[in-house]
Structure formats: C-alpha cells, structure tokens
C-alpha cells in the first residue's frame, strides 16, 4: 500500500464521521442552514424586498418568497450581471456558470465564495465515501481523467464566467494535479472531437485507474481508444477500477460500457448542477444518492402532481415520503431563493435521506446532457416551416441512443398535413434552428456525439390511433412533444 492510498483511507474515515454527524440529524441540520442563509442575506436587495428581517420560520419564508424559475428570478440576476453589489447575496459572485437558457438566451448562475467550496468538497467526498466503504484506494496511485469543459474563462463586468466544469477545473487539489489528466493544454481545446483525439493520445499508454465524465462523452472516448488499440478498454487500462458519472442516466449506457470495457467496473453517481451540488452516491450496496443537507442549500419539495396547482404545499426535509415524485426547490448561499431547477426526485431512503433523479417537471430530452425542452422543439419546427407549404398535424421527439448504424440521434416522429419536397433538407432546417437555441445540443452535434436529427413519417391519424390505444383520445389529453425515453416513439412506429 502506498503512502497516498494509506492517507486516502485515513482521510476517508475522518470525512465519513463528519458526514454521519449531519446525516443523522437531518432536520436540525437543515434548520441551521436555513437560519444562516436568511441571516446572511438580510441586507441584500432581495432580502429587503422579501422581508428577510421578519422571517424566522419556514412558514414565513413561504409567505414572503414565492417559487421562481430562472426567468422569474432574472430581473435580479440581470442586476448582478450588470455589476451591482449585494443583490441576491452579499457582495459580488466569484463566477457566473453560463448555461443554456429557455426564453432569453444564456443563463448566468452565480457562484459565490461561500458556495464554490461545496462543489469541490462534494465531488471529493463522493470518492472518499467509496474508499471508506470498500477499503479500496489503490486507484489514487494511477492516472485519473476528468472529461470536462474548457477551463478558459471569459469575463463580464469584472466577473469570470464559463461552463461549470471548466470553472471547477481550476480547483483540482494539489495532491491530485500530478495524477490528473488531460493536460491543461488539451483541456483548453474547444473542438470536442479534436479534444478527444488529443485525450486518447495522452492517455492510451498510461496507467488509467479512474475515469469521470458524462456517459455520452466517455463513450466517444472509449470508442476512439478501441479503434486505436483494437482491444477492450479493460485490457488497455487493466487498473481501471472506478467510473464516476453525472448529468444523465447511466443505465441506458451500462450494458454497452461493460461490453466495451470487457468487465464490470464500480461506478459512483453524482448529482451536480450549476445551481449547486445536491447529492452523491455514498454506498455501493443501496440505491440512491445521499442528499447533501449541510452544503449551503436549503431544500423544499413540492409534489409533482400538485406543482401546477395554486398554493401547492412546500415540504421540508422532515416531511417527505418514500416513492413520491417531488419537484426540487432550492435556496442557496449563491443567492438563489425558492428556486425551481426543474428536476424531480424521489426518496428511496429516509435514514439517511437518499434520492434518485426521476426526471424533469416538464417534458424534455437529455439522454446525452442536451437539456432540450418543449419550447425549443416547437420553435425549431415552426422556423423550418416558415416560407414553405409544409404543414404538420402532430409530432413528438425521442432519443435514439442505440441505432443499428451510425451515431445516435434525435428521432422526430411527424405526421405531415403537407409533406416537404425534400425530407432531409427539412430535417436539417429543424436541426439548425434547434442548435441555435440550445448550445448543449450544438456541442453534441459539433463534437460528433450526435448526428443530425432523423425524421420518421407517421401515417395519417397515426397519433390519434396511438392516443386511442392508451385510452387518452379526446378531452384535454395531450401527447408530449418530447420524451427522454422511447416508450411513445416505439409505440407510434407500430402505426
């Protein structure tokens, strides 16, 4: 056993004890976080506008602070972006994490000196939880790769901005820098395909022990490695023993990964976002991820079935139940208050509190981390039809993760009223319109993780036949514009 792996085990034991302390006292832990957040933000513009001076209980907080999404919080964010002090949180943020917006272009999510450390600690603690539970720490002696965005940051009114993964790259601990890949130079490459080629060249002959990234990106890396060496990943990297992932559901990829690797590899699931690091998998033996209750985030939960009703109840951690689909609402030390991130979760354990991500409160596609929403696909097809005689009766969109040949793609199932003369040209128009709206989708196309969308024609009244078959024809029943699985798509293709 090396000194580094021995030290990792000791450190893991210390962190485990600290984690157990707050995990075993969840209600009081969240109460302390709530009180700290309110106290710290009393003198901010948001705090003054929402009577933080008078708030001492969650009931009072609910009375004064409504649930908002980014668009609704945007007037305050715009003031922060413009350089104003003490708007959502004291002072100014350290960074803006730039993400894809819904109706107003890019979103700027603030990261403060108080919130930033939790992003780093959570990722570290996820690995240490694995070390503590399994006793395995030899991987710390090998090379570790973190497939992430470019660390090159822009600046807006004196505040640095970039992708969250690129910002986090600046905070890799010194004790990992020697083992960490890719190199800074390679990590700065913007073109994803060029970047992956460079990563392959840097790593193919090294002792890789830990690999981390969004599954769709890692899949592309693995495929290029196999093409170069002509053998399974597990033979190229015999000491590869830990895969860390987040961003999308790994299950659709798991069987293909095991086939490419040639064996099973333990994995750790993370639940990070620009708005906060919410949970990580803390055990290999039970389902779900440990909800981080001591990380500068106060959580509220609204039952998904009640979310769009007036005065839906906002539950706190001590009130949640197993198996219920909740919309996740957060208030954070980065200045997000009553903020709806759009994700839904279900609790699979209450001692400690563990969750699984169950989806989005609105229909979406994010099989590859693209976060495509209904408004974007509706706008894209509308733009493609402009200036043409094409009409569309109905459509829906689904991911095709495992095509029989070629790259994965989004499949658009369309019932035309009047068909386009050239289906491929029409598909390209839709694709280009979608890429302009969604930078994640554009990245996946540019990086050759996805290919241009494919249109499958649905026969006349095919959607009606489908809705009738599931007992939802007529009334106010609506077909989802898009899905993150193929349940609807595969049924439709039978008609």
Per-residue pLDDT tens digits for 298-324: 999 999 878 878 889 999 999 999 988
List the Cα angle 432/438/443 in 5-degree steps. 80
Question: CA-to-CA distance for 297 and 425, rounded, in angstroms?
Answer: 47
Based on the fold, state whether residues 299 and 216 are members of the same structural domain. no
Based on the fold, state whether residues 94 and 186 are members of the same structural domain. no
Token pair 């715009």 is at which residue?
78
Q: What pLDDT shows up at residue 475?
A: 44
Helix (H/G/I), strand (E/B), else coil: 369: coil
Domain termination residue (choose one: 296, 331, 360): 360
Percent of residues, the chain, with pLDDT higher than 70: 94
> Average pLDDT in the 14-28 region?
97
Q: What pLDDT shows up at residue 472?
A: 67
Pull the structure tokens for residue 463.
């959607």
Q: Is a pLDDT exceeding 90 seen at residue 347?
A: yes
Q: What is the DSSP letter of 191?
A: S
> Average pLDDT in the 323-341 region?
95
Provide the whole-model pTM. Answer: 0.78
Q: What pLDDT shows up at residue 5?
A: 84
Q: Is a pLDDT exceeding 70 seen at residue 105?
A: no
Instruction: Using the CB atoms, write b or e for 35-54: b if 16+ within 10 Å.
Output: eebbebbeebbbbeebebee
Task: Count CB atoms within 10 A of the CB of residue 221.
Answer: 20
Based on the fold, state whether residues 325 and 261 are members of the same structural domain. no
Residue ranges making up the domain that contains 243: 137-265
In the chain, % helix, strand, coil (3-state, to 5) comes to: 40, 25, 35
Based on the fold, state whether residues 374 and 484 are members of the same structural domain. yes
Helices (H), 306-422: 374-385
In a domain, 130, yes or no: no
In a domain, 223, yes or no: yes
Query: How buried is 202 (Cβ within 10 angstroms: 0-12 exposed, 13-18 middle, 19+ buried)?
Result: middle
> Average pLDDT in the 401-418 region?
92
Q: What pLDDT shows up at residue 271?
A: 94
Question: CA-to-CA distance for 167 and 207, rounded, in angstroms?
Answer: 26
Confidence band, pLDDT 50/70/90 cuts, at residue 1: confident
Q: What pLDDT shows up at residue 473?
A: 54
In a domain, 459, yes or no: yes
Number of domains within the chain: 3
Q: Classify strands 242-246 and 276-280 as parallel, antiparallel or unpaired.
A: unpaired
Domain termination residue (choose one: 360, 383, 412): 360
Confidence band, pLDDT 50/70/90 cuts, at residue 363: low
Q: Is a pLDDT exceeding 60 seen at residue 359?
A: yes
* Higher per-residue pLDDT: 474 or 136: 136
Helices (H), 297-399: 374-385
In a domain, 124, yes or no: no
Confidence band, pLDDT 50/70/90 cuts, at residue 464: confident
Q: What are phi and psi of 333, to 5 degrees?
A: -80, 15
Please answer whether residues 454 and 400 qualify as being in contact, where contact means their C-beta atoms are separated by less than 8 angstroms: yes
Pull the structure tokens for residue 255.
């069987």
Please answer whether residues 57 and 314 qualify as being in contact, where contact means their C-beta atoms are separated by less than 8 angstroms: no
Give the mean pLDDT of the chain. Answer: 90
In a domain, 464, yes or no: yes
Q: Is a pLDDT exceeding 60 seen at residue 88?
A: yes
Residue 159: beta bridge partners? 156
Q: What pLDDT shows up at residue 457?
A: 95
* Higher per-residue pLDDT: 61 or 145: 61
Based on the fold, state whether residues 281 and 222 are members of the same structural domain. no
What pLDDT digit, counting tens, does each position of 112-163 carry? 999 999 999 999 999 999 999 999 989 888 999 987 778 889 998 999 999 8
SS3 for 382-413 is HHHHCCCCCEEEEEEEEEECCCCCCCCEEEEE
In a domain, 394, yes or no: yes
Q: What pLDDT shows up at residue 180?
A: 86
Please tell me the least confidently modeled range out of 71-75, 383-387, 473-477: 473-477
In a domain, 132, yes or no: no
Q: Is a pLDDT exceeding 60 seen at residue 102?
A: no
Question: CA-to-CA distance for 488 and 482, rounded, in angstroms?
Answer: 9
Long-range pairs of 230-237 with CB within 8 A, sequence gap ≥ 24? 232/260, 232/261, 232/262, 233/260, 233/261, 233/262, 234/261, 234/262, 234/263, 234/265, 235/262, 236/204, 237/207, 237/208, 237/209, 237/211
Contacts of 388 (CB under 8 A, 6+ apart): 420, 426
Question: CA-to-CA distance for 76 and 79, rounded, in angstroms?
Answer: 5
Identify the helix (H) or strand (E) that includes residue 77: helix 70-81
Based on the fold, state whether residues 346 and 299 are members of the same structural domain. yes
Q: Does the N-terminal peptide bond of residue 232 adopt cis geometry, omega within 30 degrees of 0?
A: no
Based on the fold, state whether residues 454 and 425 are members of the same structural domain. yes
Based on the fold, state whether residues 321 and 378 are members of the same structural domain. no
Confidence band, pLDDT 50/70/90 cuts, at residue 193: confident
Q: Is a pLDDT exceeding 50 seen at residue 424?
A: yes
Based on the fold, state whether residues 260 and 281 are members of the same structural domain. no
Q: Is a pLDDT exceeding 50 seen at residue 371?
A: yes
What pLDDT digit, counting tens, does each position of 117-130 carry? 999 999 999 999 99
In a domain, 313, yes or no: yes
Q: What pLDDT shows up at residue 423?
A: 96
Please tell me the least confidently modeled range out of 40-49, 184-193, 445-454: 184-193
Q: Does the N-terminal peptide bond of residue 284 adopt cis geometry, omega within 30 degrees of 0?
A: no
Q: What are phi and psi of 247, to 5 degrees?
A: 95, -45
Confidence band, pLDDT 50/70/90 cuts, at residue 394: confident
Question: CA-to-CA distance for 150 and 186, rounded, in angstroms?
Answer: 9
Domain termination residue (choose one: 265, 284, 301): 265
Radius of gyration of the chain (CA): 23
Based on the fold, state whether residues 172 and 143 are members of the same structural domain. yes
CATH number, domain of 489, equals 3.30.300
Based on the fold, state whether residues 378 and 479 are members of the same structural domain. yes
Question: CA-to-CA distance for 458 and 423, rounded, in angstroms?
Answer: 13
For the CA atoms of 478, 479, 482, 487, the dihedral, rounded to the nearest 10 degrees, stands at 140
| Total residues belonging to the chain | 495
Based on the fold, state whether residues 372 and 487 are members of the same structural domain. yes
Q: What pLDDT shows up at residue 296?
A: 97
> Average pLDDT in the 395-415 region?
93
What pLDDT digit, counting tens, does each position of 41-55 carry? 999 999 999 999 999
What pLDDT digit, counting tens, does each position of 228-272 carry? 999 999 999 999 999 999 877 777 577 778 888 999 999 999 999
Confidence band, pLDDT 50/70/90 cuts, at residue 175: low
């Amino acid at each position: 056993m090396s000194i580094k792996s021995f030290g990792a085990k000791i450190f893991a034991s210390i962190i485990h004890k600290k984690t157990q302390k707050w995990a075993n006292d969840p209600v009081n832990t969240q109460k302390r976080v709530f009180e700290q957040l309110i106290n710290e933000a009393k003198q901010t513009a948001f705090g003054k506008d929402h009577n933080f001076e008078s708030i001492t209980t969650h009931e009072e907080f609910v009375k004064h602070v409504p649930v908002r999404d980014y668009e609704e919080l945007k007037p305050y964010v715009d003031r922060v972006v413009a350089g104003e002090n003490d708007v959502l949180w004291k002072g100014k943020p350290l960074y803006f994490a730039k993400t894809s917006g819904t109706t107003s272009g890019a979103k700027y999510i603030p990261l403060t000196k108080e919130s930033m450390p939790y992003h780093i600690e959570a990722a570290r603690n996820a690995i240490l939880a694995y070390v503590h539970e399994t006793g395995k720490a030899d991987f710390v002696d090998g090379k570790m790769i973190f497939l992430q965005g470019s660390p090159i940051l822009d600046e807006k009114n004196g505040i640095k901005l970039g992708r969250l993964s690129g910002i986090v790259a600046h905070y890799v601990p010194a004790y990992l820098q020697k083992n960490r890949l890719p190199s800074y130079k390679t990590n700065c490459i913007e073109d994803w395909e060029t970047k992956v080629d460079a990563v392959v060249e840097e790593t193919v002959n090294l002792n890789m022990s830990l690999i981390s990234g969004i599954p769709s990106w890692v899949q592309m890396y693995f495929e290029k490695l196999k093409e170069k060496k002509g053998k399974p990943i597990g033979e190229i990297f015999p000491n590869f023993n830990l895969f860390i992932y987040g961003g999308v559901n790994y299950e659709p990829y798991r069987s293909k990964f095991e086939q490419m690797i040639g064996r099973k590899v333990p994995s750790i699931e993370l639940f990070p976002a620009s708005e906060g690091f919410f949970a990580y998998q803390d055990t290999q033996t039970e389902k779900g991820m440990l909800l981080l209750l001591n990380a500068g985030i106060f959580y509220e939960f609204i039952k998904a079935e009640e979310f769009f009703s007036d005065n839906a109840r906002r539950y706190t951690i001590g009130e949640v139940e197993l198996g219920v689909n909740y919309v996740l609402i957060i208030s954070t030390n980065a200045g997000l208050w009553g903020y709806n991130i759009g994700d839904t979760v279900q609790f699979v354990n209450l001692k400690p509190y563990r969750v699984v991500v169950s989806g989005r409160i609105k229909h979406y596609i994010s099989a590859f981390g693209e976060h495509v929403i209904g408004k974007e696909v509706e706008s894209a097809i509308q733009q493609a039809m402009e200036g043409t005689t094409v009409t569309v009766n109905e459509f829906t969109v689904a991911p095709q993760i495992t095509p029989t040949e070629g790259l994965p793609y989004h499949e658009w199932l369309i019932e035309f009223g009047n068909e386009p003369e050239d289906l491929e040209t029409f598909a390209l128009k839709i694709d280009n319109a979608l890429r302009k709206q969604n930078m994640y989708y554009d990245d996946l196309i540019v990086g050759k993780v996805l290919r241009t969308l494919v249109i499958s024609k649905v026969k006349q009244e095919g959607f009606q036949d489908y809705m009738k078959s599931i007992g939802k024809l007529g009334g106010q029943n609506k077909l989802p514009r898009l899905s993150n699985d193929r349940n609807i798509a595969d049924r439709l293709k039978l008609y």
